Amino acid sequence: MICLQRFSVFNLLCLIILLEAVLCQENAQTMRDKASLLSFREGIVSDPHRTLEDWNSWGVHVCNWSGIKCNKARDHVVELDLSGKALGGTISPSLANLSSLHILDLSSNFFEGRIPSELGSLSLLEQLSLSSNLLEGRIAAELGFLRKIVYLDLGSNRLTGEIPMPLFCNHSSSSLQYIDLSNNSLSGEIPLKDGCELKQLRFLLLWSNRLVGQVPAAMSNSSKLKWIDLESNMLSGELPSEIIQKLPKLQYLYLSYNRFMSHDGNTNLEPFFSSLVNASNFQELELAGNNLGGDLPPIIGNLSTNLVQLHLDANRIYGSIPPHISNLVNLTLLNLSSNLLNGTIPPKLCRMTMLERVFLSNNSLSGEIPSAFGDIPHLGLLDLSKNKLSGSIPDSFANLFQLRRLLLYENQLSGTIPPSLGKCINLEILDLSHNQISGVIPSEVAGLRSLKLYLNLSSNHLHGLLPMELSKMDMVLAVDLSSNNLSGTIPSQLGSCIALEYLNLSANSLEGSLPDSIGKLPYLQNLDVSSNQLNGEIPESLQESLTLKKLNFSFNNFSGNVSSNGAFSSLTIDSFLGNPGLCGSIKGMSHCRKKRTHHLAILSIILSLLITPIFCVFGYPLMHRSKFQRHQAVFDQEELGDDEEEGKKEHKYPRISYEQLIEATGGFSPSSLIGSGRFGHVYKGVLQDNSVIAVKVLDLKTDEEILGSFKRECRVLKRTRHRNLIRIITACSRPDFKALVLPLMSNGSLERHLYSNHGLSVRLNLIQLVSICSDVAEGLSYLHHHSPVRVVHCDLKPSNILLDEDMTALVTDFGIARLVKGDDGNVPTNDSASFSSADGLLCGSIGYIAPEYALGKTISTEGDVFSFGVLLLEIVTGRRPTDVLAHEGSTLHEWVKRQYPHRLDPIVQQALERCAASSMPKQYNKVWRDVVLELIELGLMCTQYTPSLRPNMQDIAYEIGRLKDYICNPSSFLIEEIDLKVEAP
């Protein structure tokens, strides 16, 4: 019995010893994984979101570290996922010691250097994703020995050299299902040789490299392929028909922009399309830009009815469009542009009722436009330009309620413009130029408020008057009506097209004077009225414009004095040819004779001033009252609200008479003009005590809303006080004259510093720009959250941000601001001060307007946040929102979002160059780069489509304040994570 007890105790001790040994072994493995991860962390030089902060915390098990997952026993790390964390640095070879790793995902970061060849020893690795980084050098051949790899993504880096053979041709590659090496600079041939077995491969993405040679025949062994993208390389040879016909599961095939040819010496496309017939779920085909020859075979209609996109543009395909193509009933995009097609457009084409975009431009198509196009309910873009089409524009286009872009230019179309086009209520671009269209411009078409980009009716045979309805196009950027037979006068109502940048009315028979309102268009850059019969003087408003760059007044009957100042300073005599009545200081123009002074006129002005004295009423007490102590007055209650106590404190406020403003500004002379806008002009003035002021004179003739704007601005400026808001000195009011008197900001507006066309040789550096952003954010934060009366500014943009002598930014121009009475930051709908986007005044300026305003939503502080986000992106990119809209066809924030986060390098680099980052010490380069990236991210947060997802101005002011501290003293400050998320681009 004793022996048995001793034996049991002995066995128990052995078991305990054995268990301890196992536990020690497991602990040793965990410690090795931990050491590998900490070694990897040492290579991280940038962690702006502090993702890895918990990696060295005592008491936190390695399996609980951010981005780490372990097996069930918690003794082996099996997953490391740090994708999209903005990490910078290099990838340490120590990761190869994580012997149980199944998933390694470091994509969408800023890792540099080479991919460690040691990663090839991770024998259990199934997923490796290093895409969208800054990795460079060759792909290590050792990665081809990952025995269980299923998913391999190295796309969107800077990798060079040839693709190593083991990656595609190795017994270890047999499990591969997904390969993405796209968007690098890889060269050589695709290394798929005979005998390569990639039987599980489903996705092969090699687009945008420098690959050469033919598509390897061994690709046909991968019969499960669904997606092949070889676009934008230098591949050659015949289209791979024999390979394609062995891939029955193929859904997406992208071969565009290579050097492929069709069969039989680039004359026969039928074998290729035949090879696709067996792919029953085929959905997209792209063959653009290969110079493929041959005609479109009828068998194209036998492709899968699941086909939704067909790109055959920029080739040398000839012959007619086969009617059989109409069998592709689910096609949404058809692009046959820039080929050699002839014949007529088959009416059967319009049986494809799912079509959304049709490109047939730049061919030799003839005949009439099929009226059946009007039966395609979802058609949003129709481009038939640069063909030989004749006949009239079908009335049936009126049915296309989704149509956004209609391009019919450079054809032989005749007849008239159908008024029914006015029913295309979503139309953004209408180009009918260079045809033989006659008749008048229908008022229904001229009144299309949906036009956002351009209207081009030039080079036709149009006659009649310019329709008054053109004034309704308050979103259009360009209008070209040149080279027609239009007559009559130019309506002054064109001044309502406030987004207009380009206006061409040349080569018509227009007469009368050029309206002064044209020169007041706030964004107009290019104006051509040459070769008409216009007369009278050239309006001074054109010379005073701050945006005009190109003008042409040639071959009219203009007369009068022309100055070489303002917008005319860069013009030559070529802009004024054929106007013998003009004289002035333009080189090559005859000098004007001096006229006698009209003493009686001057005397009458003086008498009128003496008979009708008027005094100005102030907004705030002056910071330095001694300069103005002899000009005291009271608030006018009608202009400044119901605060009676304010009105009684007459002794505290300055009074400046109308005569003093006349004297201070030289009679509001053009030489004193420093700015213009929708509501009037701003003049520089100097009072008798040498105080420098800015006088904002409202143009009461342009709109009844101006009076309301004046009252609104007075009320806002009276009730708010902050170092980053403009303060009011006084306000002048009489029935025929309204003006605000403000301190003159010596450094002008932010817009003046952002764009070189304002004549500044030195731009702001990044420290100054961040400081300005911080000032603006603080000012808006005060308006939204701390002011006695909450205010929504509604028109934030660079021209409404002024800089004082210390470069402190002040928000100005509260002409369309709204007082917020609700606790939620919204203007209540029953408030008389509220308005919607359908009212006479827009909710801001084009490019800065929050998208919800276009839907009639109530004005809110979130709208200001959106405008501020656009401002941030404008400062970083150096591009005006309207320029992006004109050239990119999208808003500024949408354009930046498309680059985020993997294609921001060019934007960041250009920002650093503009902000003189090259003059900074090298150790600060990364600091500045981090700040630019943070500004972009914050700008995208502020411009999210859903208002409730945007941060408030209080949080924004805090974040930019920290950025300001960081860039001014980077050695003692670390950027922390901004706790707001950007919507996925």
Q: β-pairing, 68-70 with 77-81?
A: antiparallel
- The answer to whether 163 touches 186, Cβ cutoff 8 Å, is yes
CA atoms within 13 A on the CB side of 225: 22
- The answer to whether 292 touches 317, Cβ cutoff 8 Å, is yes
Cβ-proximal residues to 665 (8 Å cutoff; 6+ apart), any chain: 672, 683, 684, 685, 695
Task: List the beta strands (DSSP E) in 251-299.
Answer: 252-254, 259-261, 284-286, 293-295
Q: What whole-number distance in Å separates Cα of residue 62 and Cα of residue 702?
A: 70
At 171 the three-state DSSP class reads helix
Could you tell me how far CA 886 lies from the centroid of its own chain?
10
Torsion of CA 452, 458, 463, 468, to 10 degrees: 20
| 199 annotated ligand binder | no
Measured from the Cβ of residue 758, the count of other Cβ atoms closer than 10 Å reads 12
Residues in the chain: 985
Q: What whole-number distance in Å separates Cα of residue 792 and Cα of residue 783?
A: 7
Q: What whole-number distance in Å separates Cα of residue 783 and Cα of residue 819?
A: 9
Q: 212 exposed, middle or buried (CB, 10 Å; 0-12, 13-18, 19+)?
A: middle
Residues with a catalytic annotation lie at 795
- The answer to whether 698 touches 706, Cβ cutoff 8 Å, is yes
- Cα dihedral across residues 933, 935, 936, 940: positive or negative: positive
How far are the Cα atoms of 555, 578, 579, 678, 858 from residue 574, in angstroms, in the given order?
Answer: 10, 9, 11, 30, 49
Element (H, E) at 932: helix 925-942
Q: What whole-number distance in Å separates Cα of residue 982 and Cα of residue 128?
A: 26
Q: What whole-number distance in Å separates Cα of residue 337 and Cα of residue 358?
A: 9
Q: What whole-number distance in Å separates Cα of residue 541 and Cα of residue 513?
A: 13
Element (H, E) at 158: strand 158-162
Please give the DSSP secondary-structure letter assigned to residue 69. E
Cβ-proximal residues to 701 (8 Å cutoff; 6+ apart), any chain: none
State the distance between the two ends of the chain, measured CA to CA, in whole angstroms. 78
Could you tell me how far CA 82 lies from the centroid of its own chain?
29
User: Residue 415: phi, psi to the nearest 5?
Assistant: 80, -160
Q: At what angle do helices 881-888 and 892-899 cross, to 10 degrees?
A: 70
- Cα dihedral across residues 27, 32, 36, 42: positive or negative: positive
Supply 724's token pair: 């980053």
The C-alpha R_g of the chain, in whole angstroms, comes to 35
Measured from the Cβ of residue 798, the count of other Cβ atoms closer than 10 Å reads 19
User: Residue 551: phi, psi to the nearest 5?
Assistant: -140, 145
Supply 137's token pair: 């050098």
Q: How many helices (H) and strands (E) does the chain have?
A: 20, 53
User: Residue 439 forms beta bridges with which residues?
Assistant: 462
Q: 593 exposed, middle or buried (CB, 10 Å; 0-12, 13-18, 19+)?
A: exposed
Amino acid at residue number 114: R
Measured from the Cβ of residue 139, the count of other Cβ atoms closer than 10 Å reads 25
